[in-house]
């Protein structure tokens, strides 16, 4: 599935309703979605968690890689977006929740280890303490060969929130790889691919 006019309308209306939570003006472009989803194993069944699923643009890129028998848990804080996802993509386990409750949510669902965590969260809008909690939970949940991806907008890279996120990623993971910019995204964005959580956090 690609982003439809209806997805776009839904996204814009969510952004207008709640700009301080949605943090973007359009769903991620297909190329950015593919980059984010690249860490999802495509050769075996896996368990994947998606944070901030929105209208499902990244969810679809993840779904395309998943093998039969996989599990895709998608967290979305906005009730209406979550409800829409549940209807449009019944194969997803959609949870209406704040990503900072990730540990508790997965524990309640019997998920102890995950093969990939893909984030679409607007980090600069999330308070630092909650950012730390999310990354601690991600680190605790990732299987040894698993990875975490997230994105950042190019125009905001020098702002304090983006610098703090980079610092936090480097504190939280042994390896943080920055991708080239995806110019066709609105606005242009790059991704961070993070591996080997530092367990000391
Ligand atoms: C920048 S949009 C990205 C949406 C989608 N992943 C994409 O790339 O098109 C951020 C999404 O994260 C959701 N979100 C924001 N804060 C969240 C939180 N603390 N927990 C879960 N979802 C959150 C927003 O409602 C929104 O749908």
DSSP string of 32-89, one letter each residue? HHHHHHTTS-SSS--EEEEE--TTSHHHHHHHHHPPTT-EEEEEES-HHHHHHHHHH-
Ligand 1 site, residue 61, Cβ cutoff 6 A: no
Model confidence over 147-163: pLDDT tens digits?
A: 999 999 999 999 999 99
In the chain, % of residues over pLDDT 70: 99
pLDDT at residue 172 tops 60: yes
pLDDT in tens, 104-135: 999 999 999 999 999 999 999 999 999 999 99
Q: What is the mean pLDDT of residues 97-109?
A: 97
Distance 27 CA to ligand 1 centre (A): 10
Judged by DSSP in three states, 52 sits in coil
User: SS3 helix, strand, coil % of the chain, rounded to 5?
Assistant: 45, 25, 30
Cβ neighbors of 60 (< 8 A, separation 6 or more) are: 1, 2, 33, 89
Predicted local confidence at residue 3, as pLDDT: 83
| 98 CB near ligand 1 (under 6 Å) | yes
CATH numbers and ranges of domains, the chain: 5-18+31-197 (3.40.50.150)
Inter-residue contact 48 to 71 (CB < 8 Å): yes
Q: What is the mean pLDDT of residues 88-108?
A: 97
From the list 153, 119, 139, 151, the residue with the least C-alpha distance to 195 is 139
pLDDT confidence band for 200 (50 / 70 / 90) = low
Q: What are the pLDDT digits (tens) for 11-61?
A: 999 999 988 888 888 999 999 999 999 999 999 999 999 999 999 999 999
Q: Token pair 């998606």 is at which residue?
A: 50
Q: What is the mean pLDDT of the chain?
A: 95
Ligand 1 pocket residue status of 77, Cβ below 6 Å: yes
Report d(CA 189, CA 134) in Å as an integer: 21
Other C-beta atoms closer than 10 Å to the C-beta of 163 total 12
Token pair belonging to 47:
């368990």
> Does 146 or 3 have the greater pLDDT score?
146
Tokens of 156: 């905001």
With a 6 Å cutoff on the Cβ, whether 52 touches ligand 1 is yes
Asked whether 27 and 6 are in contact (CB, 8 A), the reply is: no
Ligand 1 centroid to Cα of residue 84, in Å, is 14
The answer to whether the peptide bond before residue 152 is cis (omega within 30 degrees of 0) is: no
Q: Which helix (H) or strand (E) holds 139?
A: helix 128-141
**pLDDT(201) > 50:** no
Q: Identify the H or E element spanning 105.
A: helix 102-108
């Amino acid at each position: 599935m690609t982003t439809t006019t209806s997805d776009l309308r839904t996204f814009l209306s969510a952004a207008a309703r709640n700009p301080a939570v949605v943090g973007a003006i359009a769903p991620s472009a297909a190329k950015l979605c593919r980059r984010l989803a690249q860490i999802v194993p495509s050769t075996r069944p896996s368990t994947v968690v998606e944070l901030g699923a929105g209208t499902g643009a990244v969810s679809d890129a993840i779904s395309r890689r998943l093998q039969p028998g996989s599990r895709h848990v998608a967290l979305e804080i906005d009730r209406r977006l979550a409800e829409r996802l549940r209807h449009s993509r019944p194969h997803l386990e959609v949870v209406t929740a704040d990503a900072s409750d990730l540990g508790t949510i997965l524990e309640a669902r019997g998920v102890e280890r995950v093969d990939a965590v893909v984030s679409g969260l607007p980090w600069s809008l999330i308070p630092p303490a909650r950012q730390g909690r999310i990354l601690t939970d991600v680190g605790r949940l990732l299987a040894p060969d698993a990875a975490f991806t997230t994105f950042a907008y190019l125009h905001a890279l020098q702002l304090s929130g983006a610098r703090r996120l980079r610092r936090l990623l480097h504190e939280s993971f042994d390896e943080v790889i920055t991708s080239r910019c995806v110019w066709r995204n609105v606005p242009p964005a790059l991704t961070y691919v993070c591996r080997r959580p530092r367990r000391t956090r």
